[in-house]
């Protein structure tokens, strides 16, 4: 069959080289005669996998030594509870910036634990959806932390500014859909978390980067599996971690290093985004509703001027090997998720298809 | 290389046929041109995987229609919090039967949410470790539920009685290491849970079976990812589930059906256990410290009379393709975990090795 490019928003495309290696060694890993998913997480073989993955992840993001990396269960949704349960301490409020679906979902979970101060950062610029600049975010005086989501997977909205609110403001950010896609100045953050299933590996694993001085103040009702201190004290093995997802994420980190690391990804992601948004903007047939400065380079929602053609577009694109382009139900239209694993050739194939589709139906 | 038999306690051996099938289709699942771990959990293809796995699981355990099955994040440790957070309601205590390491660990988590009434069920029978019969368990009057662990993975202790405390007693049980190994009368339980990584599939997935009348009373601070009602209302897709683990567990369920289901497993597990315990008992060289009635058929700890030979036993058994026989650090000695995926031939190879080792070193 023709090569398939999978634009799923997550679980998402993985690097072809990584999947092929995982396939080769699935039944006999490192000559052990067993699969990596069959061995103990406490044995020296898996400890090696775990430590190497953490080291490579630290290298890729230049994580300072005063930050801990945790490999957790529970997904981004788990961290919607994990963040307040670990960071509130004796405070009763936190600032939550709302710029899209996931930021809002984090608020819905946070109300179980505190009275969030919701900062509505949505705005309109030149008729397009946008996010207010950070200098206009009205932080409260007594917040334990500030939470925001720098890339909204569903809305296709990105906040590209790096936070700079001074050392007393603990910033917690949901990087699920943009981690490893461009450099991050980790030192600006207290906590960064990311579900693996977009830019890291298979679903079921979550990475948390936490500044060590924030440990030790989990709520007394915090489940151990979400308690950063417990996880850190046990090298993320307080309970059996999702070992296969950890292993496969490690292969992705190795692959990223081979590609030139996050800086190289950043360049390719920029090329991919320019190609796709350029195709949309140079046409009256396609439309994207997000202001240029807030356009996500990872998730590109777009509408056909004539939505009656949506079904045909999806059928024909699928037949052409361009999968999972249907937009999220709350936005409609199309969405192309173009994470690190999506090669430039995939975006080229998509834009070629879009132009040809427009030629035939425009 | 020679065939390897992996006696790991979890993550554990998977059926060879299942791993081979997963390997074949890892990069191109059902002709889609993508891996099953790359597709959306909300697409029709994965929904089919999910629903089939649940149906097969229900068939295997004869789960009545008034019980819900949830596919969760968080492992058994997650359920140590999940059970009290979902079942306490307005009560402040629950009965916790302590018969081993995991039952005790559940108590340590439960104290965050209630004042557990700990029932020490450990006893000694004929000089061997045993568990008091259920009729001797002193239940409290005001307990929200009774929690116990029917198979202690580390201690090698099993509670084979089925609970029968009347309809007002909600029984919650941690079946992580024995689920699907023998029939269970589900109707005796309020909640059954099991981490997947022993008898179900890869680590990172947890199955919960919950009687539907117990839904709807989660604690207001219960994280959504542990809230049975939220999970049930969203068909276990409130957040992205561990899709690959769910898929692979589904393959295990199909394999179990092909083998003749749980009744057939029960017979084979009995044969395996008789062969291994028989070899231990017919020797002064090996020893098991658990009373016959409470011996686990899944996890068989045994000691060498001369512990100075432990290291050699482990080296030689590994060289013979018998992996992961080292006992848990809190018990020492050896442990053979012989879950469903371990064929009788594996236990035969182990007992042959044990006899030969005794002949040479006894």
Tell me: pLDDT of B90 over 80: yes
> Given an 8 Å threshold on Cβ–Cβ distance, is B223 in contact with A81?
yes
Integer angstrom CA distances of residue A208 from A72, A78, B247: 7, 11, 26
pLDDT digits (tens, 9 = 90+) for A79-98: 999 999 999 999 999 999 99
Integer angstrom CA distances of residue A24 from A1, A28, B7: 21, 8, 23
Size of interface A-B (CB pairs under 8 A): 214
Task: State the pLDDT confidence band at B210, using cuts at 50, 70 and 90.
Answer: very high
Q: Which of residues 218-237 of B touch A (CB under 8 A)?
A: 220-226
Q: Are B154 and B184 in contact (CB under 8 A)?
A: no
What is the mean pLDDT of the segment spanning A118-146?
97
Neighbours of B260 (CB within 10 A): 12
What is the value of pTM for the model shown? 0.97
The backbone torsions φ and ψ at residue B108, rounded to the nearest 5 degrees and listed phi first, read: -60, -35
Among A225, A231, A229, smallest CA distance to A217 is for: A229
Integer angstrom CA distances of residue A15 from A79, A199, A325, A348: 26, 10, 19, 17
> Would you state the pLDDT for residue B321?
97
Can you tell me which residue has the tokens 């103990």? Answer: A40
pLDDT digits (tens, 9 = 90+) for A20-68: 999 999 999 999 999 999 999 999 999 999 999 999 999 999 999 999 9
Tell me: pLDDT of A74 over 60: yes
Tell me: pLDDT of B1 over 60: no
∠ Cα A321 A298 A149 (to 5°): 145
> Given an 8 Å threshold on Cβ–Cβ distance, is A112 in contact with B80?
no
Task: State the pLDDT confidence band at B362, using cuts at 50, 70 and 90.
Answer: confident
- Mind telling me how many Å the CA of B170 is from chain A's nearest CA? 22
> Given an 8 Å threshold on Cβ–Cβ distance, is A75 in contact with B75?
no
Among B138, B136, B130, smallest CA distance to B156 is for: B130
Q: Does ipTM surpass 0.90 in this model? A: yes
Q: Which residue of A has its CA nearest to B220?
A: A112
Among B313, B348, B321, smallest CA distance to A31 is for: B321
Among B277, B26, B67, B48, smallest CA distance to B170 is for: B67
pLDDT digits (tens, 9 = 90+) for A308-350: 999 999 999 999 999 999 999 888 999 999 999 999 999 999 9
Judged by DSSP in three states, B301 sits in strand
∠ Cα A79 A80 A82 (to 5°): 45
Cα radius of gyration (chain A)? 21
- Mind telling me how many Å the CA of A104 is from chain B's nearest CA? 15
Q: Are A244 and A36 in contact (CB under 8 A)?
A: yes
Tell me which H or E stretch contains B70: strand B67-72
Q: Tokens standing for B335?
A: 């442990």
Measured in whole angstroms, how far is the alpha carbon of residue B219 from the centre of its chain? 26
Does the CA dihedral B137-B139-B143-B144 come out positive or negative? positive
Range in A251-260, A326-335, B139-148 with the lowest mean pLDDT:
A326-335
Integer angstrom CA distances of residue B294 from B75, B81, B172, B290: 25, 27, 20, 7
Q: Are B102 and B153 in contact (CB under 8 A)?
A: yes
Q: Is A137 a catalytic residue?
A: no
Residue B89 touches partner A, C-beta closer than 8 Å: no
Q: Which of residues 44-73 of B touch A (CB under 8 A)?
A: 73
Q: Tokens standing for A362?
A: 């425009």
Residue B259 touches partner A, C-beta closer than 8 Å: no
Does the CA dihedral B250-B251-B256-B259 come out positive or negative? positive
pLDDT digits (tens, 9 = 90+) for B103-134: 999 999 999 999 999 999 999 999 999 999 99
Residue A115 touches partner B, C-beta closer than 8 Å: no
Q: What span, in angstroms and rounded, lies between the C-alpha atoms of B362 and B285?
A: 6
């Amino acid at each position: 069959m023709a090569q398939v490019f999978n634009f799923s928003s997550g679980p998402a495309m993985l690097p072809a080289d990584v999947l092929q290696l995982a396939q080769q060694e699935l039944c006999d890993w490192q000559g052990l005669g067993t699969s990596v998913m069959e061995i103990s997480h406490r044995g020296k073989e898996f400890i090696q996998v775990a430590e190497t993955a953490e080291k490579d992840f630290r290298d890729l993001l230049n994580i300072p030594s005063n930050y801990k990396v945790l490999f957790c269960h529970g997904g981004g949704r788990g961290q919607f509870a994990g963040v307040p349960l670990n960071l509130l301490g004796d405070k009763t409020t936190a600032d939550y910036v709302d710029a899209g679906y996931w930021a809002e979902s984090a608020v819905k979970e946070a109300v179980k634990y505190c009275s969030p101060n919701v900062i509505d950062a949505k705005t309109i610029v030149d008729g397009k959806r946008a996010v207010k600049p950070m200098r206009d975010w009205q932080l409260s005086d007594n917040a334990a932390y500030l939470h925001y989501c720098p890339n909204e997977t569903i809305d296709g909205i990105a906040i590209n500014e790096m936070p700079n609110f001074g050392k007393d403001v603990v910033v917690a950010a949901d990087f699920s859909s943009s981690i490893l896609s461009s450099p991050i100045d980790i030192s600006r953050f207290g906590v960064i978390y990311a579900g693996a299933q977009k830019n890291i590996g298979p679903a079921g694993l979550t990475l948390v980067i936490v500044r060590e001085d924030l440990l030790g103040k989990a709520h007394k009702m915090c489940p151990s599996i979400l308690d950063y201190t417990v996880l850190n004290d046990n090298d993320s093995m307080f309970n059996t971690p999702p070992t296969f997802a950890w292993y496969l994420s490690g292969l992705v980190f190795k692959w990223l290093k081979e590609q030139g690391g996050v800086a190289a990804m950043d360049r390719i992601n920029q090329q991919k985004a320019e190609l796709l948004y350029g195709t949309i903007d140079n046409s009256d047939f396609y439309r994207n509703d997000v202001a240029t400065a807030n356009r996500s380079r990872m998730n590109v929602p777009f509408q056909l001027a004539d939505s009656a053609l949506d079904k045909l577009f999806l059928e024909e694109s699928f037949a052409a090997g361009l999968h999972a382009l249907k937009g999220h139900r709350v936005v409609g239209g199309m969405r192309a998720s173009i994470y690190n694993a999506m090669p430039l050739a995939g975006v080229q194939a998509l834009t070629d298809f879009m132009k040809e589709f427009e030629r035939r139906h425009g």
